Homo-oligomer: A and B are copies of this chain.
Amino acid sequence: MKSFVDYSHDSDFSIHNIPFGVAVFNKEYIACATRIGDIVIDLASLHDFGYFENIKGLDENVFEAYTLNEFIELGKPITNDVRLKIQELLLEGSALANDEKTKEVCFFDLDKVQMMMPVHVPNYTDFYSSIQHATNVGMLFRDPANALLPNWKHLPVGYHGRASSIVVSGVDIQRPVGQIKPPTAEKPFFSPSLQLDFELEMGFVVNKNTELGEHIPMEETEDAIFGMMIFNDWSARDIQSWEYVPLGPFLGKNFGSNISPWIVTMEALNPFRTESPKQDPEVLDYLKFEGDKNYDINLEVYLKPENGKDNLISASNYKFMYWNMCQQLAHHTVNGCNVEVGDIYASGTISGEDPKSYGSMLELTWRGQNPIKLSNGEERKFVEDNDTITMKAWSEKDGIRVGFGEVTSKILPARKI
């Protein structure tokens, strides 16, 4: 496939991708969008020009919206048709290729566009599905001899996170203040977090509303997953480790999470499916699956100090996940918990076996014991004020590249206390 839009061979947004997002065009007009190379396309206007006329079920212009929820809710038969139609329109020699008027209205250079939150998120759940991450955290927070708790290999452990504080890439995050109690302190005290961390995660978005009491069995899970994004689950380790027993993470997490603005569809990621790790002990029937449910997605984390350059500090891969998305969704709903369009389900930190693939500062520096050296000579145990963390994700195979772009945000100093 070759597009009439030129782009670099290492662009995440090749003709094979066709992701969906929501953009502010020229600082004044908001609509759903897609992207190819460095061109962002206003889908609402493209719809007005009649380019989606033959797609059944897309009579209404659902792209005239501040979120993708209405579009996503149409379900895979329609959203897939739309994606394939856009792909076809972007090929050399298509009707659109020579329609200068439409292109003038609908095509925007990146610098004329600001990306918004792609979805309204009714509910957010965070899983804990990387075995290396769970082992590392268990060693650091609890008992090195029994790092993995007894339930971990039987079910995809997860918890409800805070939907309100999920923001898009580019929204900077203020360092949280709160109660901390280092092991050496007799009493807790009030302080800005001294152990601010990122977590390298991927999230997926659900495309359906289920009724309370309904479940999504394993064989129907893939149909319910619209696509994925990069998810930076900012974490304050000192607040978290004091507060989290017995009910789980709370203020150590809910001060902000950033997501990448483009949702890449599962169809675009299909060529990058890969074998799932063997699960031993065998899982219960409702968690059994067939076929390749993991995805080979390269992940990178960069730390940029205030007066410095981007430092690559972690290189991981989504394929390391012990529990896959289908298992997460089947488990989440097995008890009748209802899901809603736009819900985000995040993976948990994705760490590989190689210490350079650990997905958090907590693990990379082993809670500060082994600081990371930066190119400007500074060291980092955790994230400092005005550091910018950027996460990238992409798949590549047989010369085809499909990626997520990046999620980036800076840590602002804590408010005065």
Contact = CB atoms under 8 A, between A and B. Distances in A.
A321 B339 CA distance: 32
A257 to B, nearest CB: 10
A335 B239 contact: yes
A141 to B, nearest CB: 7
A164 B248 contact: no
Contact of A336 (B243, B255, B339): B255
B213 A415 contact: yes
A218 interface: no
Contacts of A178: 334-335
Nearest to A340: B164
Contacts of A9: none
Interface in A118-161: 122-123, 128, 138, 141-142, 149, 151, 154-155, 157-161
Interface string A239-251: 1001111111111
A290 interface: no
B284 A189 contact: yes
Oligomeric state, in copies: 2
A28 interface: no
A158 B250 contact: yes
Contacts of A281: 187
Contacts of A243: 151, 155, 157
A102 interface: no
Q: How large is the interface on A (under 10, 10 to 19, 20 to 34, 35 or more residues)?
A: 35 or more
B188 A339 contact: no
Contact of A335 (B122, B177, B181): B177
A174 B213 contact: yes
A82 to B, nearest CB: 27
Nearest to A249: B247
A285 interface: yes
Contacts of A293: none
A76 to B, nearest CB: 21
Given A154-B181, A164-B339, 20 more contacts: A122-B163, A141-B246, A149-B245, A149-B246, A154-B179, A155-B243, A158-B247, A159-B248, A159-B249, A160-B160, A164-B340, A176-B336, A179-B284, A190-B284, A190-B285, A246-B248, A247-B248, A247-B249, A251-B334, A251-B337
6 contacts: A155-B188, A157-B246, A159-B160, A159-B249, A190-B286, A215-B415
List the 3 closest A-B pairs by CB distance, nearest first.
A248-B248, A176-B335, A159-B247
